[in-house]
Structure 1
Amino acid sequence: MSDFVKKQFDAVARDYDRQRRQLIPCFDDFYGMAAAWVNCDNDAPHILDLGAGTGLFSSFIRSKYPKATLTLIDLSVEMLKEARRRFGDDQAVNYITADYAAYPFTQQYDAVISSLSIHHLPHPDKKTLFRKVHDLLIEGGTFINVDQAAGTTPFIDNYYMTQWENAIRQSGLAAEAIEASIVRRKIDHNATVHDQLEWLKEAGFSDADCIYKHNGFAVFAALKR
C-alpha cells in the first residue's frame, strides 16, 4: 500500500470515526450486516482486522464476542493511536503497525475482517491477499470484507459516485472534509462484485457471496469449509 495512502489516513485519523457515518450513507446496515455474519464456533475466538484503522469494525465484534482476542493491523500509526484510545487497557487487543499485504503472520484465526481498506490494493494484490486470508483462517473460519465495489459499467460506476457525492454534500460534513474524501477516492482501485467473488472462489473459499450492497458499498462473506 502506498505512502500516499498512509499519509492521507494519518491526516484524518482524529476525525475519522466522527466522519465515517456521514461519509457512508448506508452506515447502519453496512456495518450491521457485516457484524451479523461474523460467526465463530467458540465464544473466545481469535480475530484479525486487516486495515483496522481506528478499530471501528473491531469494536462491533468486541461487543458480539467480549472474550475475543483481537489483532488490529494497519499501516497508519495515527489510526492505530485512535484504536488504542478506543480500546483503552483491553489486554486482549493486539496492535501491529505494518502493511498487511506483506506481513508474515504466524498464526491462524477464527475470523478475518476488513473494513474499507482492501480497495486500496491493485487488483493482482487483492487476489494474492484473498489467498493469504484463506490460509490464515482455521477450517470453518469466516472472512468478512466491508468495502467498496465498482459498477459493472463506467455509466453505472459514475452513477454510484454521483449518488455518493450528493449524499455527503447533504450530510452536514464540512466542505473541506467532503473535498478531502473525494480526493481520497480518486486513488481507489475498486473492483466489481463479480470479480471479487471470482477471486475469493479462486483463493479456495468454499462459499462466497455479496451479502449486502448499497450502490458502491458492498459486504462480502467468504467461508472456509
Structure 2
Amino acid sequence: METNRSKVIERFDDIASEYDQQRRKLIPCFDDFYRIPVSVASTTKESPTILDIGAGTGLFSSFLLEKYPQAKLTLIDISEKMLEVAKSRFTNQPNVTYIVDDYTKHEFADTYDIVISSLSIHHLTDAEKKNLYAKIFSIMNNDSLFINADQVLGHTPYIETMYKDDWKKKVEGSGLSTTELTSAYERTKLDKMSPLDEQITWLKDIGFSDVDCVYKYFNFAVLFGRKLK
C-alpha cells in the first residue's frame, strides 16, 4: 500500500506543472465530465463548505467556485507540488484551506455541505474505497452531497478492453507528444479501478440516499449521493 502511495506522489509531482493543460486531451469527454457534476452540485447555501478529495491542482474546485463564489474550500492531496499549482490558481481566494496528506488516513476536524473528488479515488483498492466512502459520509452535514467524477472498471473483460482501446485511440490522436503519452500510460499502471455497480452498492450500504451514476462515458463516470440525516 505504502509503495503505491509513494509512486502516486512521484508520478503526480512529476506532472504537476503540465497537469491542467493535458486534461482536455487525456479526458475525451472533458466538458461533460466536469460540467455535469457542477450542474448537480446544488445547495441553498450561499457559502457552502466544500471538501475536494484528491484535489490535485484544484481544477474541479475551480468550477465549483464559479458556481459558488463565496464557498469555503478545503483541498486535500498527497502531492504537495499539485497543491502548489492549486495555490497559484486560487491566489486571490481567501477562503481556501490546503491539506497535504493521505486522505485515507487524515482525521478531518470539520464537516462539509459538498464533498467532491475527481480522478483520484480509482487509485485505491476496493477495501480502501469502501472505507473512504464511509469516512466521507461521516464528515458530511445533513442535506449534503457527494460527487465523485472518476474512472470505473468495465464489468466484463471484453467491455474493459473496449474502454481502454477507445481511450488509447482518442488520446493518441489528441496531439499529445510521445513523452506525454508515455507518461500517461505509466500513470495508468497505478489504477485500481472498481466496477460502477459495485461502487453504487457500497454507497447505498453506507447510507447514502439517491445514489446514481449521473453521467458515463466508457471508463469515465460521475457518481452522486446525498446524506439526508
Q: Cα offset for 1:107? A: 1.2
Distance in 2 (CA, whole Å) between partners of 1:112 and 1:40 is: 12
Q: Tell me the CA shift for residue 41 of structure 1.
A: 2.4
Counterpart residue number, 2:225: 222
Aligned to 2:111: 108
Q: TM-score, normalised by structure 1?
A: 0.98
1: CA distance, partners of 2:56 / 2:11: 12
Is 1:98 paired with 2:136? Answer: no
Matched, 1:75 2:78: yes
Q: 2:204 aligns with which of 185, 198, 201?
A: 201
Q: CA deviation at 1:89?
A: 3.1
Identity %: 45
Question: Could you tell me which residue of structure 1 aligns to residue 141 of structure 2?
Answer: 138
Q: CA RMSD in A?
A: 0.8
* Higher mean C-alpha deviation, range 17-26 or range 89-98: 89-98
1:62 offset after TM fit, Å? Answer: 0.5
Q: Deviations over 1:108-163 (max 9, x none)?
A: 10000000000001110000001111111111100000000110101110110110
Q: Please give the TM-score of this superposition, normalised by the length of structure 2.
A: 0.97
Give the alignment partner of residue 173 of structure 1, picking from 151, 171, 176.
176
Which amino acid letter does the alignment assign opposite residue 172 of structure 2?
R
Aligned mates of 1:128, 1:145 — CA distance in 2: 15
* Residues 43-78 of structure 1: per-residue CA shift (max 9 Å, x gap): 100000000000000000000000000000000010
**Within 2, Cα distance between the matches of 1:182 and 1:34?**
26
1:122 maps to 2:109? no
Q: Take 2:199 and 2:44, find their aligned partners in 1: how far apart are those partners?
A: 26
Worse overlay, 89-98 or 63-72: 89-98
| Residue in structure 2 matched with residue 53 of structure 1 by the alignment | 56
Q: Which amino acid aligns with 2:175?
A: G
**1:11 aligned to 11, 14, 17, which one?**
14
Aligned residue type for 2:10:
K
List structure 1 segments (4+ residues) > 3 angstroms apart after TM superposition: none
How many aligned positions are there? Answer: 225
Shift of 1:182: 1.1
Report deviation, 1:175. Answer: 1.1
Structure 2: runs of 5+ lacking an equivalent: none
> C-alpha separation between the residues in 1 aligned to 2:136 and 2:121?
12
Deviation at 1:207, TM superposition (A): 1.6
